[in-house]
Chains A and B, each alone.
Chain A
Amino acid sequence: MDYKYIEQLLERYFQCETTLKEEEILRSFFTQEDVPVWLTKYQTLFTYEAEKEELLDENFDERILTMIEQSEPVKARVVTLTQRLMPLFKAAAIVAIILTLGNAAQAPWDRGWDNPREEYAKFHQQQSDSVTIVGPVQAENTLTDSVSSVPTPEIPKY
Chain B
Amino acid sequence: MKKVSFRNDVLPLKNKLYRLALRITLTPEDAEDVVQETMMKVWSRRNQWDQIESMEAFCLTICRNLSLDKTRKMAGSEQSLETTEFETPDNSHSANPEERAIQQDRLRLVRQIIDSLPEKQRSVMQLRDFEGKSYKEIAVIMNISEEQVKVNIFRARQVVKQRFLESEDYGI
Which residues of A are found within 8 Å of B140, using beta-carbon distances? none
Which residues of B are found within 8 Å of A47, using beta-carbon distances? 91, 107
Decide if B85 touches A53 in the complex (CB within 8 Å).
yes
Interface string of B13-46 (1 = CB under 8 A from A): 0110011001000000000100110011001100
Residue of chain B at shortest CB distance from A67: B40
The CA-CA distance from A16 to B134 in the complex, in Å, is 12
9 contacts between A and B (CB under 8 A): A44-B110, A45-B110, A47-B107, A51-B86, A52-B19, A53-B86, A53-B88, A61-B10, A67-B39
Decide if B165 touches A41 in the complex (CB within 8 Å).
yes
> SS class of chain A's interface: helix, strand, loop or mixed?
helix
Contact pick for A20, options B85, B87, B134, B153, CB 8 Å: B134
**Is B58 positioned at the interface, with any CB of A under 8 Å from its CB?**
no
Which residues of B are found within 8 Å of A75, using beta-carbon distances? 44
**Is A13 positioned at the interface, with any CB of B under 8 Å from its CB?**
yes
> Interface size class for chain B?
35 or more
**Is A63 positioned at the interface, with any CB of B under 8 Å from its CB?**
yes
**Is B79 positioned at the interface, with any CB of A under 8 Å from its CB?**
no
**Is B69 positioned at the interface, with any CB of A under 8 Å from its CB?**
no
Decide if A61 touches B40 in the complex (CB within 8 Å).
no
**Is B97 positioned at the interface, with any CB of A under 8 Å from its CB?**
no
Decide if B157 touches A14 in the complex (CB within 8 Å).
yes
The chain A residues found within 8 Å of chain B, CB to CB, are 13-16, 20, 23, 31, 33, 41-42, 44-45, 47-56, 60-61, 63-65, 67-68, 71, 75
- Listed from nearest, the 5 A-B pairs whose CB atoms lie closest are A51-B88, A44-B106, A55-B15, A48-B110, A16-B154
Which residues of B are found within 8 Å of A49, using beta-carbon distances? 129-130
Decide if B6 touches A63 in the complex (CB within 8 Å).
no
The CA-CA distance from A144 to B77 in the complex, in Å, is 97
Which residues of B are found within 8 Å of A48, using beta-carbon distances? 107, 110-111
The CA-CA distance from A41 to B35 in the complex, in Å, is 35
Which residues of A are found within 8 Å of B160, using beta-carbon distances? 45
Residue of chain B at shortest CB distance from A44: B106
Supply 14 further A-B pairs (C-beta < 8 A) apart from A23-B129, A53-B19: A13-B157, A16-B150, A20-B134, A45-B160, A48-B110, A50-B91, A51-B86, A51-B107, A52-B19, A53-B85, A61-B10, A65-B10, A68-B40, A71-B40
Which residues of A are found within 8 Å of B19, using beta-carbon distances? 52-53, 55
Decide if B107 touches A44 in the complex (CB within 8 Å).
yes
The CA-CA distance from A14 to B109 in the complex, in Å, is 19
> Which residues of chain B from 28 to 77 have any CB-CB distance to chain A below 8 Å in the complex?
32, 35-36, 39-40, 43-44
Which residues of B are found within 8 Å of A50, using beta-carbon distances? 91
Which residues of B are found within 8 Å of A44, using beta-carbon distances? 103, 106-107, 109-110, 164
> Which residues of chain B from 157 to 172 have any CB-CB distance to chain A below 8 Å in the complex?
157-158, 160-161, 164-165, 168
